[in-house]
Amino acid sequence: MPLGIVRYSGRQAWGILTGLLWIWFLFSPYWLDAGTVEDAYIAGYTASSLEHDFGLRDAALQVHDGIVTVVLVAGSQVDRGKLEAAIKRIPGVVQVDIRSETAEKLQDLSNGDPQIGDAKEQPSGAITTAIEDHSSKWMPHGLLFNPLHADLRWPRFSAAYRSFSTGLNVSEGFAGNFGETFSIYRNKALFGGEWELGVQAGVFSLLDFGQQSIDLVNADYRVGVVSSYRANAWSGFVRLLHQSSHLGDEFILNNPQVTRINLSFEELDMKIAYDAASWLRVYGGGGVVLRRDPKIGRGTTQWGVELTSPFTLLEGRVRPVAYGDFQANERANWSVSRSLMAGLQLENARIGDRRLQLLFEYYFGPSPDGQFYTRMVEWYGIGLHFFY
């Protein structure tokens, strides 16, 4: 027998062939459909992240060969940068495409229409999943109206250092704020939108760093009921709030020339916002003061713009942001206040749609601190802000 040649009997050859056929039969589904199985895993993982980490109620996604296409309602308030970063971390994902559609189109997808985009471009074998609204109507996740970031009286958790150049007998101040907006009930509304009822509450304090005891200068307390609405790129709210303002005891003792004002009022206001692009938001509105003590002016107005960079820095870890908020109120003789903030938003997909921001700030105008609403103030500052 020549070297290297092995002879098998007919029975041995048949046994080997039979074994190979059995191996092929058992494992061929995994070999032939390995891409489909992987896509199914990606689709399930992504759908879970959309629902639980980002609180998305109406969305659809398609996966084909590791390419993930996510379809959101036009004007969705989810942070797309964080969403894309989170999906890219899923094993097997090679590309992420986030699109926007109307609420009606997403409803078609939920009802079984598998088409995302142009039907001619649909890849065969793609896995499509529609995420329907299964969340409870009570205590829902997230908010329909995004925070007004540069509004110094929007409830938030923040700590900021301020260097005053004019207006108060304070050269260095610390602004410590805590508060939040909570959604209590949410339901469908007209024009394919949603509405919700919630509450807002916050404490806004200013302390004097120039004093050894770090005296409390002013504290504003706010609580209110807010009803919000969102449809695609439009959102808005109507709010009834109460505010009372108080001077710190140590500040009164160290500044006997300051006259305490028993400032307390209720205000009814309305704001409307439009998401002109994924990186641009504009808003505006007004209100009227109802009960008031003392007899301050009733009219209030507010408008602003918010810019969120579509690009990130440091390998996706931070995102530049810039905000501007402007207010003119009758109680301050309609003088326009300018609140400008710019800085970096820390991108961390592990905390879902929550935002931690490091912002430089500049303010000029009537003091937002209630006891000093008649004084013109100016400051530069830097602070950490945590928004839900």
Residue type, 255: N
Dist. CA 270–CA 201, nearest whole Å:
17
Q: Which pLDDT does position 120 carry in this prediction?
A: 40
Q: What CATH fold (topology level) applies to the domain 157-387?
A: Outer membrane phospholipase (ompla); Chain C (2.40.230)
Q: What is the pLDDT of residues 323-364, one digit of tens each?
A: 999 999 999 999 999 999 999 998 765 555 568 899 999 999
Dist. CA 111–CA 266, nearest whole Å:
46
Q: Which residues pair with 130 in a beta bridge?
A: 60
CATH 2.40.230.10, the chain: domain bounds: 157-387
Dist. CA 258–CA 275, nearest whole Å:
44
Long-range contacts of 123-128 (CB under 8 A, 24+ apart): 123/64, 123/65, 125/35, 125/36, 125/39, 125/64, 126/39, 126/62, 126/63, 126/64, 127/36, 127/39, 127/40, 127/43, 127/62, 127/63, 127/64, 128/60, 128/61, 128/62
Q: Which pLDDT does position 168 carry in this prediction?
A: 84
**Tens digits of pLDDT across the chain (388 residues):** 454 444 555 566 666 666 665 565 555 444 444 444 478 888 888 887 787 777 776 788 888 888 888 888 766 767 777 788 888 888 888 888 888 777 666 666 555 554 554 444 455 567 777 776 655 588 887 889 999 999 999 999 999 999 999 888 888 999 999 999 999 999 988 887 889 999 999 999 999 987 777 889 999 999 999 999 998 889 999 999 999 999 988 888 888 888 888 899 999 999 999 999 888 999 999 999 999 999 999 999 999 999 999 888 887 788 999 999 999 999 999 999 999 999 999 876 555 556 889 999 999 999 999 999 999 999 999 999 987 6
> Are the CB atoms for 366 and 375 separated by under 8 Å?
yes
Q: Which pLDDT does position 95 carry in this prediction?
A: 86
For the chain, percent helix, then strand, then coil, each to nearest 5?
A: 20, 50, 30
